[in-house]
């Protein structure tokens, strides 16, 4: 027998979407899945590959549905027979077959081999795979590896009398023979009664009597006889509660993570809200809700979302203290706050002991230690996740961001390329576009990558802000304006230009296009938007910086200087951390020497190469183009001759 711990996924081509969902969910939990998409190709080589995989897999998952019932012929039925043939060589205690129904198909009526009815089925509402399925499969695989009996999942048998497997099979055959005899006797009784009635009934019998008489002699006891059998009945498919079904759908959305759109996050939040309203005592539902809230905080900086994520995760753990889902949600929530990073790390390490193949845990641990100032250690964890079966594009993207913080830009882009080789996701494409823009100033390459981004993601802030950056750097005001006109939000949140007022950006676009009146109008609108936001949080440093920036754009130097000084007071390290933004404001104020001093200092740090690209292309520095000191900054640093 093979030592492989792989799962073979058998499905009809009509159920490809559900099969893909199952495969993706299992892979996210570190489970190797043999999932072939080449049914239409066929051929001897392909057939041989399928046969070999069924011989070597540890678990055979059969996707069953109305579509499989409708197809009386299909290669998937051959796969089923091959799996059953292999199961004949296994002990009853060996869990190997796992039927999964993705709709309301019943295990009693489904057109499947009888062997499938001897094991417990899993029901997935609407074909949506969830963490519950992954944990069930993992339990089966672990049981197979240890040789232990998986009583809830292996072939069902009576345990009350402690019968042996051989005796159980004999009894099953005897019961089958009994059922055949009962049906035969019942049929014979029907025929005999009918003949007697015809032979001996009076010739003047009323029609109603003809109808009533068969009802008297109809073999009702015979037809009901099998129902009186007290043998263990086939259990109905496991159906999740409505709250769990909603949580499962939300999980499919939030686990996209970097690839999820704003609409995905909004829908996931709505599903979670309904789930906890339906069942406030469901810890799993609270755990999923916490994960969604953590994502909303990380990607969109939703005010208060960090506290809400922690509260919801703590609620989940209080309801289900040993749940891995709840504890992972708590670890993710704790990594949003510097004061709880150590606890987030502890929880992540505990989870890895029981789930060493869960990629989400490896990523959470990597993000946590990176936030604690240990980037090299974080890289090791991301790489560990990426080497698990199926790879991990999200871990590779996290690795890319970590390498960027270390100034290792070429390696950062290589990690993105590796992620794209696994999956052409919108998140990876946008990250590639950012690398092309900021690391190398490759405007043509960035435009080509943007053209590959799915339309559904183009309205998200990440795509909008990167698109604006590209068109602004190309001085193409019309294209930038076309992008901004698709957005109705006052602020553009996300990874890039976090919290930028849309009206400020519109002003920049019109200024580049030579429309000064329109630019001033939008900048006035931006000030109103910023002031309204500051009413709720007057000390938010980013809003104060934007206020200074917009006043500088309007030529209101005194007010701009006032707001800039306020930002420095609120955040003493702001000038160092936001030196590029401060320099841009100083350029608008005409304080060129002070601005260039800040830029020269930053060029000596690890971000120097990226800053040099921005200085060369960004319109914000156009006023300095003819300045010799600025031109010297644009020159690439000379390599040490002695070296």
- Determine the 3-state secondary structure of 113 from DSSP: coil
Say whether both 467 and 559 belong to one domain: no
Q: Is residue 155 part of a domain?
A: no
Res. 522: pLDDT tops 90:
yes
The C-alpha atoms of residue 348 and residue 335 are separated, in whole angstroms, by 10
Helix (H) or strand (E) holding 97: strand 97-101
Say whether both 313 and 281 belong to one domain: yes
* Averaged confidence pLDDT in the chain: 82
Q: Give residue-wise pLDDT tens across range 64-80.
A: 998 898 888 889 999 99
Split at pLDDT 50, 70, 90, the class of 109 is: confident
CB 13 within 8 A of CB 64: no
HEC secondary structure over 548-572: HHHHHHCCCHHHHHHHHHHHHHHCC
Say whether both 197 and 310 belong to one domain: no
Say whether both 288 and 253 belong to one domain: yes
Say whether both 503 and 601 belong to one domain: yes
Q: Is residue 372 part of a domain?
A: yes
What are the distances in angstroms from CA 209 to CA 197, 220, 380, 395?
11, 18, 86, 78
Say whether both 251 and 187 belong to one domain: no
Q: CA dihedral in degrees (628, 634, 639, 640; nearest 10)?
A: 40
Say whether both 404 and 267 belong to one domain: yes
CB 471 within 8 A of CB 480: yes
Burial of 138 per CB tally in 10 Å (0-12, 13-18, 19+): buried
Say whether both 317 and 434 belong to one domain: yes
Among 359, 313, 282, residue whose Cα is nearest residue 24: 359
Q: Give residue-wise pLDDT tens across range 537-564.
A: 888 888 999 999 999 999 999 999 999 9
Q: Give residue-wise pLDDT tens across range 374-425.
A: 999 999 999 999 999 888 999 999 999 999 999 999 999 999 999 999 988 8
In b/e form, how buried is each residue of 207-242, taking b as 16+ CB within 10 angstroms? eeeeeeeeeeeebeebeebeeeeeeeeeeebeebee
Say whether both 337 and 215 belong to one domain: no
Domain that holds residue 436: 242-471
Q: Give residue-wise pLDDT tens across range 13-65.
A: 888 888 888 988 888 888 889 887 644 344 567 788 889 999 999 999 999 99
Q: What is the mean pLDDT of residues 225-243?
A: 53
Q: What is the DSSP string of 463-491?
A: HHHHHHHHHHHTT-HHHHHHHHTT---SE
**Helical axes 579-588 vs 592-603, angle rounded to 10°:** 160
- Determine the 3-state secondary structure of 103 from DSSP: coil
The C-alpha atoms of residue 169 and residue 166 are separated, in whole angstroms, by 5
Burial of 189 per CB tally in 10 Å (0-12, 13-18, 19+): middle
- Is this model's pTM higher than 0.85 or not? no
């Amino acid at each position: 027998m093979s030592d492989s711990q792989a799962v073979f996924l058998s499905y009809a081509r009509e159920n490809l979407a559900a099969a893909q969902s199952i495969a993706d969910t299992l892979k996210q939990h570190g489970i190797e899945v043999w999932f072939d998409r080449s049914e239409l190709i066929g051929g001897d080589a392909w057939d041989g590959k399928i046969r070999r995989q069924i011989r070597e897999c540890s678990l055979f998952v059969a996707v069953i549905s109305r579509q499989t019932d409708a197809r009386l012929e299909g290669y998937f039925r051959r796969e089923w027979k091959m799996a059953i043939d292999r199961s004949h060589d296994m002990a009853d205690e060996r869990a190997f077959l796992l039927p999964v129904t993705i709709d309301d198909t019943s295990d009693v009526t489904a057109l499947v081999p009888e062997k499938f009815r001897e094991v417990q089925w899993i029901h997935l509402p609407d074909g949506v795979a969830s963490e519950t399925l992954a944990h069930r499969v993992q339990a089966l695989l672990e049981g197979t590896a240890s040789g232990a009996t998986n009583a809830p999942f292996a072939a069902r048998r009576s345990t009350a009398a402690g019968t042996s497997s051989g005796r159980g099979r004999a009894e099953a055959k005897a019961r089958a023979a009994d059922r055949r005899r009962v049906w035969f006797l019942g049929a014979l009784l029907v025929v005999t009664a009918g003949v007697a009635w015809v032979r001996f009934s009076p010739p003047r019998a009323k029609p109603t009597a003809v109808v009533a008489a068969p009802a008297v002699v109809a073999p009702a006891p015979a037809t009901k006889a099998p129902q009186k059998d007290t043998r263990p009945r086939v259990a109905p498919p496991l159906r999740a509660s409505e709250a769990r079904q909603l949580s499962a759908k939300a999980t499919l959305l939030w686990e996209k993570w970097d690839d999820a759109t704003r609409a995905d996050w909004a829908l996931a939040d709505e599903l979670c809200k309904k789930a906890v309203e339906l069942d406030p005592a469901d810890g799993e539902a609270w755990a999923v809700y916490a994960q969604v809230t953590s994502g909303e905080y990380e990607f969109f900086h939703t005010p208060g979302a960090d506290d809400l994520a922690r509260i919801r995760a703590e609620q989940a753990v209080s309801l289900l203290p040993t749940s891995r889902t709840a504890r992972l949600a708590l670890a993710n929530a704790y990594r949003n706050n510097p004061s709880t990073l150590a606890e987030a790390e502890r929880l992540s390490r505990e989870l890895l002991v029981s789930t060493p193949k869960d990629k989400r845990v490896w990523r959470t641990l990597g993000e946590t230690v990176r936030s604690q100032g240990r980037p090299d250690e974080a890289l090791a964890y991301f790489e560990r996740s990426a080497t698990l079966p199926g790879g991990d594009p999200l871990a590779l993207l996290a690795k890319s961001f970590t390498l960027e913080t270390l100034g290792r830009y070429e390696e950062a882009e290589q990690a993105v390329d590796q992620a794209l080789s696994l999956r052409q996701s919108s998140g990876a494409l946008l990250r590639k576009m950012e690398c092309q823009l900021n690391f190398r100033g490759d405007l043509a390459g960035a435009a080509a990558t943007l053209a590959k981004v799915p339309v559904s993601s183009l309205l998200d802030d990440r795509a909008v802000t990167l698109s604006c950056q590209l068109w602004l750097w190309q001085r193409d005001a019309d294209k930038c304006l076309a992008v901004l006109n698709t957005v109705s939000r006052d602020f553009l949140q996300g990874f890039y230009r976090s919290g930028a007022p849309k009206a400020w950006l519109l002003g920049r676009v019109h200024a580049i296009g030579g429309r000064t009146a329109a630019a001033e109008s939008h900048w006035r609108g931006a000030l109103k938007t910023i002031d309204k936001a500051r009413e709720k949080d007057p000390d938010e440093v980013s809003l104060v910086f934007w206020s200074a920036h917009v006043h500088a754009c309007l030529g209101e130097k005194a007010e701009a200087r006032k707001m800039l000084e306020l930002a420095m007071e609120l955040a003493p390290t702001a000038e160092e951390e936001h030196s590029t933004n401060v320099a841009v404001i100083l350029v608008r104020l005409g304080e060129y020497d002070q601005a260039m001093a800040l830029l020269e200092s930053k060029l000596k740090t690890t971000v120097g190469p990226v800053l040099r690209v921005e200085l060369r292309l960004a319109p914000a520095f156009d006023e300095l183009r003819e300045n010799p000191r600025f031109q010297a900054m644009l020159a690439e640093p000379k390599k040490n001759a002695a070296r």
